């Protein structure tokens, strides 16, 4: 194989890896956008169906980034259009993930508020029927009103 053929083969393999990475990013962006839409509707984070798939794809993406950072994988993109597409997708993914983080935090805070409201209602209900006071001693008997009739 000549040097030119080897370079062409490497370029084609590199382009295929970049296109595969762009497809992965596009799928991840779509999942995050779908999750963000559901979070915007007020659905609790624990009920989202995208979580497992999003985590799986995010792990794949993180692995590729880590390999590039470690120098074990190289993503040299000679085609400027392909390079621009990759950078555009990475920026779009970053924006979607930033929005996702904000929405997930809001969903967690809303869940915490709901839990606290339920716990407060339970505490109030227990306090209303508890025979014990704040000191842990039996509370004084509550005054009961009874009416008497003086007519005979």
Question: Considering the entire predicted model, what is its pTM?
Answer: 0.68
Where residue 149 falls among pLDDT bands split at 50, 70, 90?
low
Q: Nearest 5°: phi and psi at 68?
A: -65, -45
For the stretch 66-76, pLDDT in tens is 988 888 877 77
For the stretch 67-120, pLDDT in tens is 888 888 777 778 889 989 999 999 999 999 999 999 999 988 988 998 999 999
Q: Is the pLDDT of residue 29 over 60?
A: yes
Distances from the Cα of 45 to the Cαs of 54, 125, 151, in angstroms?
13, 29, 67
**Tally: H helices and E strands in the chain:** 3, 0
3 state SS of 74: coil
Report the distance separating Cα 127 and Cα 134, nearest Å: 9
30 is written with which tokens?
A: 């779509």
Find how far residue 90's CA is from the centre of its chain: 18
76 is written with which tokens?
A: 């040299």
């Amino acid at each position: 194989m000549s040097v030119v053929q080897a370079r062409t083969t490497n370029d084609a393999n590199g382009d295929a890896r970049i296109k595969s990475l762009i497809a992965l990013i596009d799928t991840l962006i779509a999942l995050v956008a779908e999750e963000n839409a559901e979070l915007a509707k007020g659905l609790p984070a624990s009920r989202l169906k995208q979580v497992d798939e999003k985590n799986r794809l995010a792990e794949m993406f993180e692995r590729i980034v880590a390999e590039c950072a470690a120098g074990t994988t190289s993503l040299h993109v000679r085609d400027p259009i392909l390079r621009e597409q990759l950078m555009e997708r990475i920026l779009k993914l970053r924006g979607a993930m930033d929005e996702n983080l904000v929405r997930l935090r809001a969903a967690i805070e809303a869940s915490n508020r709901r839990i606290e409201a339920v716990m407060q209602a339970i505490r109030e209900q227990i306090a209303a029927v508890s025979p014990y006071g704040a000191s842990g001693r039996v509370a004084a008997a509550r005054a009961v009103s009874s009416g008497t009739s003086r007519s005979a």
